[in-house]
Every structure is written in structure tokens, then in C-alpha cells.
A and B are shown apart, each in its own frame.
Chain A
Amino acid sequence: MSVLTNYSDLFLKAFGTTLQLFLFSAVGSLVLGTILAMLRVSPVPVLRAAGATYVTVLRNTPLTLVFFFFAFAYPLLKILELDPFKGAVVSLTVYTSAFICEVIRSGINTVPVGQAEASRALGLSFGQMLGNVVLPQALRTVVPPLASTMIALLKNTTIAAGFSVGDAGAIMYTFSEDGVNMLVGLGWVAFIFILLVLPLTAVQRGLERRWSVAR
């Protein structure tokens, strides 16, 4: 307990940063992931190929390498300067959106083809068909895997600690320098992560109950 009280400032600041990283990149990757999923099912071959390339590349790149890219290689391109926090949000977003894309695409695959065909027969455009008929049903079926991806994202934020962002992953470095008992210190970090994941699982259960599609 004394570790928690002695370092309360550090814990508050670090987990505050973790939550900010999580919220920004969760929103970002949900949006980008949905767009990617739409690309991957679009009737235009070029867009499909672009979506598939993105997902293949990002899913097969370790997150640490994505971070390395935005911390060390991207600045050399001199396009737009990113401070470490923004760089971390961008890294987490581009990485996680590849997974979100595949989750949503699997949801789209659960919607019977007949529904898409019927909406096209009614004269809806591709966008209307996707937005009004298919995606709403698809999203409802993918709540559990989406929640898992979000939980993974929350834990992945700790990688940012190595790239000049003082999130929960950086707590360990301070402890090792100060000679604090690591087992106790990291135990608290793990415990707080459990507390952070609990609301996510609660949201997942609530949405599952409300949105369940009868088939």
C-alpha cells in the first residue's frame, strides 16, 4: 500500500496518460477500421486491394516496429511534426484499425447476401446499402471481438512508454531506479489495469444483451 501512496502522483499521471492514449486511439481506430472494412468489401477492385494491403502489412508488423517507425523514421520524411504523444496515438491507431477492420468485415460476412441484393434491387446505392442495412447488423454481431480488440489496445498503450510517453508502462522504470520493490509496484499496475478493463467488459455485456440479433 505504501508504494501506491508514496507514488500516487506518478500513478495518477501515468494512468491519466494511458487513458488519454486509449480514448484517442480507440476513437481513431474505430473510424479508420470501419473505413478500411468498407474498402475491403467495396465493388471497386483498386480500393479492395488497397484495403487488403493495408491490413496485411499492419497486421504482420509488430506494434513496436510501428512505434519505431513513427519515432525514428517518420520524422526524417519531414512531412508533419508529431510530438511523442501524438506519434503514439497515430501508431496505436494505424495498428489497431487493421484488427478492427477484420473484426467488422467478419461481421459483414455474417449478414446474409440476400439482404445486400435486396437493398440493391430496391435501388439503394452501395453506400446506402452498407450504411443502412449491412453495417448496423454487422456491428451488432461483433461486439465481443470488438471489445477484445479494445482491451488489447488498452494494454498495448504501455509500449508508448519506450517512446517518450509517460504512461503506465513507464512506472516500472522509475521503480527500478528508485529501488522500489518491483513485485509490489508492478502488482499495483496490474491491479489498476484490471480496474480499467472491468468497465469495458461491462459495456460489452450490456451491448450484447441489448443488441443481440435474433436469427
Chain B
Amino acid sequence: MRVRSLAALLLAGGLALTGCGKEGSPTDTGAAPSQAAEADVKVDGSTTFEKMKSRGKVVIGVKEDQPNLGFKDATTNKYSGFDVDIARLVAAKLGFDESKIEYKAIASAGREQALINGDVDYYVGTYTINDGRKEKIAFAGPYFVAGQDLLVRKDDASITGKDTLMGKKVCSVTGSTPIKRIKDEKLTEDANITEFQNYSQCVSKLAEGAVDAVTTDDAILKGYAAQEPDKFKVVGAPFSKEPYGIGLNKEDKPLRDKVNDILQAAMDDGTWKSIYDATLGKSGSPAEAPAIDRY
């Protein structure tokens, strides 16, 4: 009997799992400005740029599982989101239109190696600039400053910031910096911490009420909130600073300068803001363009 009910349970589980598939439903990205490719671009002394030119296309490393940031629609295989639009903008200003872009989805753990190996020309995907990474690769930007924040259910008024987390169940990605910060600062009890391999799993746990908050950079959380604004909200009290940069090969200073110029121009002429409004801005929280750090 026990065996039979277990079999029934598993069957039910299978059904529930297939039901979960709607997680990555296609999102309307609004109207991010499309960029016309610049003609006759020159980046003197850049080996990466030479490689792009001779190849005839640009290979960009992105994320594919973060809605409104770097997201691949499983049905159309199209990439969308804030990071992807920034990547497109840079490509256009380097002289490559949409048809000459090859996206490569690379998870966080493989980013440095992909840049060092030259598997990608540049990487745009919630890439926090820090000193450890600067030793291996180079960063252009920042093009956005995120901060660790909390995603909660829309009707939950009891969590207003990091100091109200005691006794609440918090979820984030295994071994990530955000969850480490929660542990190190003892913001909630250890038994209340849940860690999964990606944020969408945490978000589904949040929806079903098994956890009370999902924590990571607000940019990522805003992406989820923009996807389902009736269900979730971002608390809006960031408690860290995560400047996002565009990852480049360490040796290629000319290209870094060029990308910095492109970003600066986009911030000055309003392109940056229109990209933000069409993607992360849909979550309802505004953002300011950061100052470029030419180190």
C-alpha cells in the first residue's frame, strides 16, 4: 500500500513539475530603441576588435535565465533584457548590427575563463566589478550600480529592509555573495536560509510561501518584479553596492576605452535611460546612470 501511494505521489509530482514550465514565459520587452550599426569604426591597437572584424561578427557572453536582464525566450530563441540591450548598443557602436551578433550564454562561474580564453569578445551579465576579478580581466563601465535588496510578496509589509529579516525565511543562490552576507551579518537564523541553484527556483518558493524573501542584486530582483508586478515587489532598501561592468580581455585597453566612450555617450544622450525604462524600469523603481570608472 505504501508503495502504491508513493507511486501515486510521484505521478502527482511529475504533473506538478510539468506545470512549473510556465516560469520562463515570454515577456513583452516593450520598445527598447534598436540601434543602427555605425559604419567605419576604428579601434586602434585592439586585438579583440581585429578578431571581430576578420570574423565578421561579434561574440557576446550573456546570461539567459534572468528575466528583463539577460533572458532567452525558449520559443523564439531571442535574447532580451537590460544587459542584452546594453550589449547590443555596444555592438552597434562597434559596427555590428543585430544579424552579426552571436550570443553565448555563460553562467557566472565560467565568465573569467571565457574572457581569458577569448571564447567571447565581451561579457555583459550582472558582472560586478571587484578587485579580485580585475586581476584576471578588465572592466568597462560601470553601466549600472545594483545593490543587494529583497524581493518579497506584494502583500507582505513585515519586511522593510535587511534588519527586519530575523525569523524570516530567506532564499538565494548556493554559495553566492548575497547569501554569504546574510550569514556573515547574521541577518536571520541559519535554519531559515534556503539555497538553490538559480533564482527562479527561489522565486517559485517565494510564490508558494515556503520562503519569505529572495535576496540578491536589486537589478535581478527588479527583473522578476517586472515580470509579475501583481505578485512581487522589491523592498527598495539596497544594502550593498554592486557596480556592473562589461567584462573584457585584460590586455585590451584600447577596446576598454572605446566601450567606456560608447557607454558615456549613451548616458549623455538618453539612450541609457530609454533602455532602462523598457526593461528593468517596468518594475516601477527608477534608477540613475552611474559615473564611468576609467581605472
Give the B-binding residues of A (Cβ under 8 A): 36, 39, 50-51, 53-54, 57-58, 61, 65, 68-69, 71-77, 83-84, 94, 161-164, 166, 170, 172-179, 182
Contacts and interface: CB of A to CB of B under 8 A. Distances in A.
A98 to B, nearest CB: 11
**Chain B interface residue number, banded:** 20 to 34
B107 to A, nearest CB: 9
**Interface majority SS (helix, strand, loop, mixed), chain A:** helix
B16 A72 contact: yes
Contact of B7 (A57, A68, A69): A57
A181 to B, nearest CB: 11
Interface string B1-29: 00110110110111011001000000000
A76 B16 contact: yes
Interface in B32-79: none
Contacts of B271: none
What 5 A-B pairs come out closest when comparing CB atoms? A173-B175, A176-B109, A69-B13, A73-B16, A73-B13
A77 B9 CA distance: 9
Given A73-B12, A166-B195, A173-B176, A54 B3 contact: yes
Interface string B167-206: 0000001111100100000000001001111000100110
B132 interface: yes
A176 B210 CA distance: 28
Contact of A179 (B133, B194, B201): B133
A65 B17 contact: yes
B9 A57 contact: no
B162 to A, nearest CB: 19
A75 B112 CA distance: 38
Contact of A162 (B4, B191, B197): B197
